[in-house]
């Protein structure tokens, strides 16, 4: 025999057709409302509903009431006391006569999901039912309705997060961004130079399959490297060139000679001879400063030897020791001073 302690004191009854149309929880709550509204057709007590349905709390009952209102089954709204709702008109018939599919509404789970993930309000979500075709298999309606709502929201809001940006073209017309140009301009890099290296940069990345994601940062790095190389080439040319008649050594040559104890005055005494010889020779070299440095040191060494020989022998210099008896080509090809 069954234990009477496990038999509930009363049952919750509801209409299966109503549950299929509006939802199981809503159908159960409507049954409870029908009993409460018999006593007072204008007032709904949340506290009384919690006592009748202890498996729901105040919040859940409020949500279900709002859903019933949104469906147009009941005209009611909360009063100044949130636990009391006021009915403005008599409730509609408990069982809608519309086709069940046409009266379909999304599940609470879907509404909560759209609210949490996209911030859409309940009213906005249910408003989209007007343009939703609730046909086909019922089990797929929630998924289809979700796509329908999000599609409408994205079109309406034109939210930039959903805008599909066309990737920037990377062809011969590509230009670095304005930000990249401003950064390079702060380094006093001429715009003409930036434009001159752009084709090389484009070709480099096109041969590697296309531009990298950080293409502007790469271009800044590329431009800085090329600019440094360009400036160094101006100061230290690696191209062989002929000596010009008005050529003079730079200051670094005199500073280097000074470290060896050779004055600028002495260097200048052999400068004219050096220039005349190499201008006439029409030869080319990559560094005339180095050539002149070598020439001055050699002449200084010869000068010192002559002074030393005169002081030791009491005068007299052999013909082989006189500079005028030696060709400048012999002097410049002699690197003995470097040892």
Residues 138-196 pLDDT 10s: 778 888 898 888 888 887 766 455 455 555 678 888 999 988 888 888 888 888 888 98
Mean pLDDT, the chain, rounded, equals: 77
Please tell me the class of the 16-87 domain: mainly alpha
Per-residue model confidence as pLDDT tens digits over 281-307: 888 887 788 888 889 989 998 888 888
How confident is the model at residue 323, as a pLDDT?
46
Q: Is a pLDDT exceeding 70 seen at residue 131?
A: yes
How confident is the model at residue 36, as a pLDDT?
73
* Rounded mean pLDDT, 125-138: 83
How confident is the model at residue 324, as a pLDDT?
47
Least confident of 82-91, 141-150, 204-213, 323-332: 323-332
* Rounded mean pLDDT, 127-133: 85
Q: Is a pLDDT exceeding 50 seen at residue 313?
A: no
How confident is the model at residue 160, as a pLDDT?
53
Counting Cα atoms < 13 Å in the Cβ hemisphere of 225 gives 8
Q: Are 41 and 87 in contact (CB under 8 A)?
A: yes
| Residue 89 pLDDT level (bands cut at 50, 70, 90) | low
Q: Which residue has the higher pLDDT, 215 or 71?
A: 215
How confident is the model at residue 291, as a pLDDT?
86
How confident is the model at residue 92, as a pLDDT?
43
Per-residue model confidence as pLDDT tens digits over 151-160: 888 877 664 5
* Rounded mean pLDDT, 318-326: 48
Least confident of 38-47, 111-120, 169-178, 260-269: 38-47
How confident is the model at residue 11, as a pLDDT?
66
Dihedrals phi, psi of 241, to nearest 5 degrees: -145, 160
For the chain, what are the domain ranges? 16-87, 108-162, 178-235, 242-338
How confident is the model at residue 339, as a pLDDT?
36
- This prediction has a pTM of 0.30
Burial class (CB in 10 A: 0-12, 13-18, 19+), 234: exposed
Q: Which residue has the higher pLDDT, 94 or 326?
A: 326
Least confident of 193-197, 260-264, 322-326: 322-326
Q: Is a pLDDT exceeding 90 seen at residue 43?
A: no
How confident is the model at residue 256, as a pLDDT?
82
Of the chain, the percentage scoring pLDDT greater than 90 comes to 6
Of the chain, the percentage scoring pLDDT greater than 70 comes to 77
């Amino acid at each position: 025999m069954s234990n009477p302690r496990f038999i509930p004191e009363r049952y919750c009854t509801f209409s299966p057709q109503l549950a299929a149309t509006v939802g199981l929880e809503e159908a159960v709550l409507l049954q409870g409302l029908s009993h409460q509204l018999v006593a007072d057709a204008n007032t709904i007590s949340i506290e009384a509903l919690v006592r009748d349905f202890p498996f729901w709390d105040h919040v859940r009952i409020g949500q279900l009431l709002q859903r019933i209102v949104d469906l147009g089954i009941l005209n009611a709204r909360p009063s100044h006391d949130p636990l009391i709702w006021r009915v403005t008109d008599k409730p509609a018939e408990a069982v809608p006569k519309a086709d069940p599919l046409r009266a379909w509404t999304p599940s609470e789970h879907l509404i909560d999901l759209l609210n949490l993930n996209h911030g859409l309000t309940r009213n906005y979500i249910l408003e989209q039912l007007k343009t939703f075709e609730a046909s086909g298999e019922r089990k797929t309606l929630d998924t289809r309705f979700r796509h329908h709502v999000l599609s409408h929201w994205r079109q309406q809001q034109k939210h930039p997060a959903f805008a599909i940006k066309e990737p920037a073209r990377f062809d011969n017309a590509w230009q670095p961004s304005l930000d990249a140009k401003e950064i390079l301009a702060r380094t006093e890099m001429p715009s003409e130079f930036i434009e001159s290296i752009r084709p090389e940069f484009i070709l480099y990345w096109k041969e590697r399959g296309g531009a990298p994601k950080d293409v502007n940062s790469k271009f800044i790095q590329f431009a800085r490297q090329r600019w440094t190389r360009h400036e160094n080439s101006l100061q230290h040319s690696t191209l062989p060139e002929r000596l010009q008649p008005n050529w003079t050594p730079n200051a670094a040559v005199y500073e280097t000679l000074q470290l060896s104890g050779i004055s600028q005055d002495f260097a200048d005494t052999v400068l004219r001879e050096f220039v005349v010889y190499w201008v006439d020779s029409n030869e080319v070299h990559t560094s005339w400063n180095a050539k002149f440095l070598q020439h001055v040191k050699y002449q200084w060494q010869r000068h010192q030897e002559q002074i030393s020989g005169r002081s030791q022998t009491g005068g007299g210099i052999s013909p082989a020791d006189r500079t005028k008896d030696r060709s400048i080509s012999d002097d410049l090809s002699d690197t003995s001073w470097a040892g």
